[in-house]
Structure 1
Amino acid sequence: MKKILFLFSIIILSCQTNTNTDKGADKNAEKFSRDLDKIKESGVLKALTVYSGTTYFLYKGRPMGFEYELLERLAEDLDVELEMIVAKDENRLIELLQDGEGDLLAYGYTITESRKKRINFTTPLYLSHQVLIQRKPESWRRMKLHEIKDYLVTNPIELIGDTISVKRNSSYASRVENLSNELGGKIFIDTLKGTLSTDKIIKKVADGDIKYTIADENIAFINSSYYPILDIGTSLSLSQRIGWAVRKRDTQLLATVNQWLENAKKTTDYHVIYNKYFKNKRLYKKRVKSDFYSINENKISPYDAMIKKNAALINWDWRLLASVTYQESQFQPQSNSWAGASGLMQIMPATARELGVTDPYNPEQSLKAGAIYLDQMMKSHENITDSIQRIKFALGSYNSGLYHVKDAQKLAEKQGLDPLVWDNNVELALLDLSFPEHYNKSFIKYGYVRGEEPFNYVRDIFKRYDHYRQFIEFK
């Protein structure tokens, strides 16, 4: 059975001043190691990344991203859980990897000689090249093509004496320095904070806040679909390899990830994922326009205000209640289940009547009833002192029924497990209640339960809650 570890604690890595550079080997590069054997022993793969509109983000309550989707599949194949660890400052990624904050640097990192002195890169995920991002004239739609071309920089040599805005220590900054040398003329660098995502920097060009920046062509392409005023046609580099990275000493992990990537890149699935994030202009524009896109707003759903109100009534983090709501209906108030449950919180008809619900499809009524029922389940497990474990018991009861959970507690105790701990104890007993040799025991009063449902239900809610806590502020 796959080892389950609920990842309740989230590490949002602070934005500190980075004293390291990408120039040369780091003296402390070898001070930490956590190779594949230790990762499997712990049951968790820790992936270091950053927020961006292609790498890792939240959209309509669901975590998404090119790196995120690949990492999910990698973790599943390794039979471990995935923990996403977000660095607020891109400049600190290598330092954080070397300090042991993550196992795998999973971000579209350009493979360079200076970086290879500090970390080991995986086999490339794809090739790209760097392009200049610049703004077309305001009246470009009324201009002829040659007039637009005359306005734009079309040859890198035209950049001599001008300024390009890029992040410190990025491959883009290195490219500007190399261009200056190659062209025999100075191109100045406007250094931007490492906390700014490439998407945000590109938006600054579109808004006219900065004149030029540089990005990988695939990222520039998908962003230009939303900002048609941008020109991305001037290449500044040859093709470059883009990869992930591990620590120098973690050779088992490197070999395994390399083999996995080689196999993955041969599949249709890999190319579908790539196209979703780097080629599909329609989906990208839809995301960017949405209020429920974490890059834009601190929102999860159209029902956030109602969720906050009802979460406060039962002293829950509203983001946890939002995760429950997504699990139940994906924020679709007209949802119906095969079992007869309906509405945002999928309340069963009998429960709805008890709680005074007159319209199960009314979001306000459904959320209030769901919160009240969850609170009832919490009170039914008052003997569980650990607050997180108690919430998990309440969620399991909400999903499968209180008395099935009580049966599972009895079975857990008979099996030598702790009846007051959900993780790896009562949840396992619930799984056993799917089999006649267990649910037919004399002390089991309520018989068969499809234990996999509450087992996965609680796990999925907390995993999603972890994502919500990374993207969405509690306010």
Structure 2
Amino acid sequence: MKGSLARRIIGTALLRVMRLGSLMIPLACTAALLHSSTTISDLQRVQARGYLKVITIPGPITYYQNAKGDTGFEYLLAKGFADYLDVKLRVSQVNNLNGLAVSLGGPNGDFAAAGLSTTLERRKYMLFSDSYGNTSQELLYKLGTKRPKSFAELKPGSTLLSIANSAGSEQLQAEASNLPQVNWQQVQLADTLGLMEQIHSGEAEYAVVDSMAHEVNQSLYPNARIAFQVSEQQTTAWAFPFRNDTSLLDAANDYLRTIEANGKLEKLREQFFGHNERFNIAGSQLFMRRVNDRLPKFEELFREAASEFNTDWQLLAAIAYQESHWNAKAKSPTGVRGLMMLTWPTAREMGVKNRLNARQSLMAGTQYYLKTKKRLPERITEPDRTWMALASYNVGFGHLEDARVLTERAGKNPDLWEDVREHLPLLEQKKYYSTVKRGFARGREPVSYVQNIRHYRDILQWHHLEKERKEMEKEEQEFAEKLAADM
């Protein structure tokens, strides 16, 4: 009897469980459907939070800051993508390629933008966007030494450098059987500029570097010359996390195809990789054409500003030419605008309502330059004070101070422009900028900026004197003709 009762109780319990289970199955299915319907893609997540996160390594063609704000080829390209998605851009910097790979897909990085070559090894753990450039790996040697034409001709016992985890290191690993008895070092915290400096100075005999980075920086270390090409052409692209959701990658490809088609990509390439204007015949001819066709529109304004602020009108004109080529409607990819190419923060600080108004732009730019000049230590005298103020106007006061620190460390005079300009380019090298307060800066730019302005001002002074001489000769000729007529 007891056993029969027990069996009935157990049977009833099992029946309840089965009924409950039959109810749970459709509930579980419904929950799964609800979950799948509410799961959002990576692209939707970025758009919902309102910002895009990019990882990069600071450098001349990736990302850096100057007096006008954030810039760099990779930065501007990524900023364009964020604008394309109608979100903000947040930049996360890492020190090396290993840090970039570790951070990709984490809380600080939706994608990586650092001039990455799309190598076979990297494709094992990264997804790549469409290509927006090409590069290759090159072996450098020092000018004046024997140029090797292949790995077999490398000097036995010599030092061969490459950046750890770089495409160059991957290529050398593949060529390991062809390398002679050389001391191959994969440098963890190096960058291309650091390797080029060691070749230029003779500290190392050879280095393998990215051709694109070498091309941009070759004027800084001219002794670091190309011996031979180590790899075939490689494409450069953005890197995305290796996972099934490719919605953000697909959007990036749509963006890159769009700017390739409308010419914006080529314009950005030209800005960073094209030949910089130098003072050759063509450059001088262009400047003189601008003196004749544009300067007359603004000369009275330059004189007015110079009189109001007790400075040199030709210096102001030279700054304005360097900034905008005397184009009051000028606009840069970073959004600076007008005759003096003011950023919005600077414009607001100086009370400018319309950056395209030539007078407002010039007055504000002049005041900002003089404000920067006033911040310099009083012991810095002219003309060094003017040159350093111009450098600060271009690269930022903090970066100039960092360069002065490096100058003093080297035993040179931080109050002389001649000494400081030699150390500003060091702010592009990790082993130097990592030791100062504000970090990386494209230090060659303010050096060129000051040199250009000095050159333009000298030409303007010569032009003005020549103009006055011709006017005096004309007046003398007219006086002589009048005197002859009266006789």
- 1:176 counterpart (158, 168, 172): 172
- 2:58 counterpart (37, 51, 55): 51
Matched residue of 2:114: which SS?
strand
CA distance in 2, matches of 1:365, 1:163: 46
The letter for the 2-side match of 1:96 is: S
- 2:95 counterpart (88, 94, 114): 88
Matched, 1:326 2:351: no
Matched residue of 2:261: which SS?
coil
| Equivalence for 2:153 | 158
CA distance in 2, matches of 1:103, 1:58: 22
Q: Offset of 1:98 from its aligned partner?
A: 3.5
Q: Offset of 1:99 from its aligned partner?
A: 2.8
Q: Offset of 1:103 from its aligned partner?
A: 0.5
* CA displacement, residues 183-231 of structure 1 (integer Å, 9 cap, x when unaligned): 264554212123x322232222223232221122222122213322221
The letter for the 2-side match of 1:73 is: G
The letter for the 2-side match of 1:326 is: T
The letter for the 1-side match of 2:160 is: I
* Larger helix percent: 2
CA distance in 1, matches of 2:260, 2:253: 11
C-alpha RMSD of the superposition: 3.7
| Equivalence for 2:233 | 239
Structure 1: unaligned runs, 5 residues or longer: 1-32, 138-147, 284-321, 348-359, 368-467
Q: Offset of 1:154 from its aligned partner?
A: 2.2
CA distance in 1, matches of 2:257, 2:209: 25
Matched residue of 2:209: which SS?
strand
Pair 1:365–1:95, CA change in 2 (3 A): closer
Q: How does 1:220-235 map to 2 (within 5 A)?
A: 220-235=214-229
Conserved 8 A contact 2:163-2:191: no
| Equivalence for 2:405 | none
CA distance in 1, matches of 2:174, 2:372: 59
CA distance in 2, matches of 1:180, 1:85: 35
Q: Offset of 1:55 from its aligned partner?
A: 1.0
Matched, 1:191 2:186: yes
The letter for the 2-side match of 1:167 is: I
Q: Offset of 1:53 from its aligned partner?
A: 0.9
| Equivalence for 1:218 | 212
CA distance in 2, matches of 1:337, 1:323: 14
CA distance in 2, matches of 1:97, 1:62: 25
Q: How does 1:349-360 map to 2 (within 5 A)?
A: none
Q: Offset of 1:37 from its aligned partner?
A: 0.9
Q: Offset of 1:155 from its aligned partner?
A: 2.2
Conserved 8 A contact 2:160-2:185: yes
Pair 1:228–1:365, CA change in 2 (3 A): closer
| Equivalence for 1:363 | 371
- 1:203 counterpart (194, 197, 206): 197
| Equivalence for 1:433 | none
Pair 1:251–1:197, CA change in 2 (3 A): same
Conserved 8 A contact 1:110-1:240: yes
Structure having greater relative contact order (Cα 8 Å, sep ≥ 6) = 1
Structure 2: unaligned runs, 5 residues or longer: 1-39, 279-341, 376-436, 442-487
The letter for the 2-side match of 1:40 is: Q
Conserved 8 A contact 2:129-2:240: yes
Q: Offset of 1:69 from its aligned partner?
A: 1.3
Q: How does 1:285-434 map to 2 (within 5 A)?
A: 326-328=346-348, 362-363=370-371
Conserved 8 A contact 2:132-2:236: yes
Conserved 8 A contact 2:199-2:223: no
Matched, 1:72 2:79: yes
Matched, 1:167 2:163: yes
Q: Offset of 1:328 from its aligned partner?
A: 4.6
Matched, 1:41 2:48: yes
| Equivalence for 2:70 | 63
| Equivalence for 1:387 | none
Pair 1:282–1:130, CA change in 2 (3 A): farther
The letter for the 2-side match of 1:173 is: S
Conserved 8 A contact 1:129-1:217: yes
The letter for the 2-side match of 1:207 is: S
Matched residue of 1:265: which SS?
helix
Matched, 1:136 2:143: yes
Pair 1:274–1:266, CA change in 2 (3 A): same
CA distance in 2, matches of 1:86, 1:253: 20
The letter for the 2-side match of 1:103 is: D
| Equivalence for 1:264 | 259
| TM-score, L = length of structure 1 | 0.51
CA distance in 2, matches of 1:121, 1:160: 37
Matched residue of 1:152: which SS?
coil
Q: Offset of 1:180 from its aligned partner?
A: 2.2
* CA displacement, residues 270-299 of structure 1 (integer Å, 9 cap, x when unaligned): 11211222232458xxxxxxxxxxxxxxxx
* CA displacement, residues 388-443 of structure 1 (integer Å, 9 cap, x when unaligned): xxxxxxxxxxxxxxxxxxxxxxxxxxxxxxxxxxxxxxxxxxxxxxxxxxxxxxxx
Pair 1:184–1:155, CA change in 2 (3 A): closer
Matched, 1:113 2:109: no
CA distance in 2, matches of 1:133, 1:361: 41
Pair 1:365–1:271, CA change in 2 (3 A): closer
CA distance in 1, matches of 2:373, 2:181: 65
Conserved 8 A contact 2:192-2:210: no
CA distance in 2, matches of 1:92, 1:341: 42
Q: Offset of 1:341 from its aligned partner?
A: 8.9
| Equivalence for 2:111 | 104
CA distance in 1, matches of 2:131, 2:239: 10
- The number of aligned residues is 275
The letter for the 1-side match of 2:208 is: I
Pair 1:133–1:60, CA change in 2 (3 A): farther
Q: Offset of 1:329 from its aligned partner?
A: 7.5
| TM-score, L = length of structure 2 | 0.50
Q: How does 1:442-453 map to 2 (within 5 A)?
A: none
The letter for the 1-side match of 2:82 is: A
